[in-house]
Amino acid sequence: MSNIVIKSVIRRENENDHIEIKLQALFGLVRYHLEIPIAKLKGMELVFKREQSGTPITPGGEGTSEETIDRHTIMRLVEKLNDLLKYTRDLTGIAKQVLCKTRITEWIWTTKLGTGDAVWTAMTTGMAWSAKSSVMGVFSQMVRLQTIPQMDVQPLFNQTSFTTEIVSTAKIRVIQMLVVGVRLIGRIRAVKGGFRAWGRVLLPRRLSRNI
């Protein structure tokens, strides 16, 4: 009956991004921490630094690495996603089940913006409020909100700046994830070549060749 707790902080300040995710499960026996303190655009590529750590039974290892995302990387990800959709019966239905069972217990979304012009700043502030309301309306249909979302937009009339930050906490019971996992295995088995497709996506190339 324990929970998988995922705490995340996503912040964008002008051209810099910062992402931090903490996962805890089985009353703290499983812990994972991922932090991306630097993410910058260089031409058509996104370069980011990643720091991760966790318990010995947490996959992913520990350490710091720098990675680059370009259009070729995105195309490979799209191809892998298409393979999973092709070789798994109703994968989108499984994803919806996970979202429906996810409970959001904390949601704080603050934004500070300024265009350098008072009139445009006021108009942009109104559009930001409208966009946030629309996003939360769609989001509340996908997950279970167990808290009142705290949202704020602060206009900065005397400067040109943009900062937005989302702090959230999501919970889902371990038993619910196990049930979803069993259903996922059953739907993978229902399609010929399903396990091979998942092996090619999840395992390193040198291992997936032997599947």
Q: Please check whether residue 178 lies inside any domain of the structure.
A: no
Q: Is residue 26 part of a domain?
A: yes
pLDDT band at 208 (very low <50, low <70, confident <90, very high): very low
Q: What does the pLDDT look like over 2-41, one tens digit per residue?
A: 899 999 999 988 777 788 899 998 877 888 888 877 666 6
pLDDT tens-digit series, residues 136-183:
999 988 999 999 999 999 999 888 989 999 999 999 999 998 999 999
Burial call 29-46: b when 16+ CB within 10 Å, e when fewer: ebbbbbbbeebeeeeeeb
Strands 45-54 and 160-173: unpaired
Does residue 18 form part of some domain?
A: yes
The CA-based diameter of the chain, rounded to the nearest angstrom, is 63
Number of domain units in the chain: 1
In a domain, 11, yes or no: yes
pTM, rounded to two decimals: 0.77
**Position 203 in a domain:** no
Q: Is residue 185 part of a domain?
A: no
Q: Concatenate the DSSP letters of all residues of 152-182 into one string.
A: EEEE-TTSEEEEEEEEEEEEEEHHHHHHHHH
Q: Which domain holds residue 6?
A: 1-69
| 207 belongs to a structural domain | no
Residue 113 lies in a domain: no
Written as six digits, the tokens of 95 are: 């994803």
- In this structure, is the dihedral angle defined by the CA atoms of residues 193, 196, 200 and 201, taken in order, positive or negative? positive
Q: How would DSSP label each residue in 14-69?
A: TTEEEEEEEEEEGGGTEEEEEEEEEEEEETTEEEEEEEEEE-TTSTT--EEEEEEE
